[in-house]
Structure 1
């Protein structure tokens, strides 16, 4: 694959940049847009009025969805505060397959005294049509030896699921990245690579293309690179672009899944937008 927009992260606004991506060329949209909770990303994207935030969300959804292939999928990270409204936007255009709860494993301390402490993010999994790409075997979780032993009766002998593992379900308990975590970059809302790689391996074929309109610290691009997929995306903050470039250039352990012949191995680049 040698398209000029593939395996590139562009330093520009996604609404402008997505215009250069051909319609029907993306296998998976995987994105963690601003939650509008007032965080500082170096711009005002997370500090809008509710009305403006939802209008902006509708704008980028309208720009992004035509880029998906007919069998493509979308994962979107959201806060519970706006998930209902944004899910409705997407359900008017796509089929919702799951609401995934990411349990961040936040310690039981601190928080509000007038409501329950929020310790999760909401993830929506949407598809364009019924024959969407989905490789469950690539993301199954192995059973431990004790469980396998308990399923040793004859009715379980030869059962594929017992050997390859179980479906990850829709509650994912994965610790948030603490300050001392070796994976942690200087970004306030960085998502764990474990979660992003699961989505990429399940919903983008090897050699396919993942689009992230809001790259942040570049975890989507890194997950794509590690698993033999291609990526493209956008990030406005120059400091975050530097982080992305550094993470993509750093040596990484080989992914568990073997890359298929033809996967793009081009060197990563951060480029100014030219739309």
Structure 2
């Protein structure tokens, strides 16, 4: 199959290979959004030792993938990167030397108040950096507004608020996102140690990638970025080293394709049930004389 202008061969593909090698497949200036969750270098087991480097090696590797990935972005493209507070200062400085930082987003994982460190405050959040290439970057706020509840709308019923867009469509999400981590019993959960919730990834995709646009993830993990792109009507491309995770991604995407292609059941209006006359109604229709006979 040859690549065409309309449909590059790498579109909607997840390659089971190293991103630094695989990025050569992707044309420069062809991606609307880079959304990625690289290893944090905290010693997690991803089956390949990628999360167990010295700090210097980790930062050197981070700079490598940043410099390899950024040319793939369109001029009005954006980047979101997950990281930990331990390394976010260094990672963000690297990116600020190449892009404009728009937000530091804090993901509150809603970790229950149990256990934790006894020599410092317990860490319960991940850090997300939101960066853009230039001032006219794509951003669709209306796609990710959070609706006000009925009580708030009622409180804002004065004439000056009538027809206000922000009141009807909702408010802008703040930079603190309180979304529960995925527990083992969660139906969305796959067999991956650091899987991110669809709710978070879909918010980024809807806000920063136009419909029909392309999302790139260099470290696919369980494939949540690809799944979110598919669900939101965007294209995706990504890389994952671990073959077991590649199999999980394939299964998740196949299940989503099946759900999207399944015929929707047509719900016909229910026919009104014929009600049988009750004994009471039957007696009421009988002549008065009969009713008198019954009482004798």
TM exceeding 0.5: yes
Higher helix share: 2
Equivalent residue, structure 2, for 1:22: 27
The structure, 1 or 2, with the larger RCO (C-alpha pairs under 8 Å, 6+ apart) is 1
Please point out which of 187, 195, 202 is paired with 2:192: 187
1:251 positional shift: 3.6
Is 1:234 aligned to residue 239 of structure 2? Answer: yes
Is 1:170 aligned to residue 175 of structure 2? Answer: yes
* 1:47-86 paired onto structure 2 within 5 Å: 47-86=52-91
Equivalent residue, structure 1, for 2:105: 100
* 1:139-158 paired onto structure 2 within 5 Å: 139-158=144-163
1:19 positional shift: 1.0
Structure 1 consecutive aligned stretches of length 4 or more whose deviation exceeds 4 Å: none
In the aligned structure 2, how far is the partner of 1:213 from the partner of 1:6? 14
How many aligned residue pairs are there?
A: 254
1:236-258 CA deviation, whole Å, 9 max, x = no partner? Answer: 1000000000000004766xxxx
Q: Which runs of 5+ in 1 are unaligned?
A: 255-275
Residue aligned with 1:239, SS: helix
In the aligned structure 1, how far is the partner of 2:50 from the partner of 2:73? 24
Whose Rg is larger? 2
In the aligned structure 2, how far is the partner of 1:129 from the partner of 1:213? 22
Is 1:121 aligned to residue 144 of structure 2? Answer: no
Q: TM-score, normalised by structure 1?
A: 0.91
CA contact (8 A) 2:32 2:77 kept: yes
In the aligned structure 2, how far is the partner of 1:160 from the partner of 1:250? 37
Please point out which of 151, 159, 164 is paired with 2:164: 159
1:163-221 CA deviation, whole Å, 9 max, x = no partner? Answer: 00000110000000000000000000000000000000000000000000000000000
In the aligned structure 1, how far is the partner of 2:163 from the partner of 2:45? 53
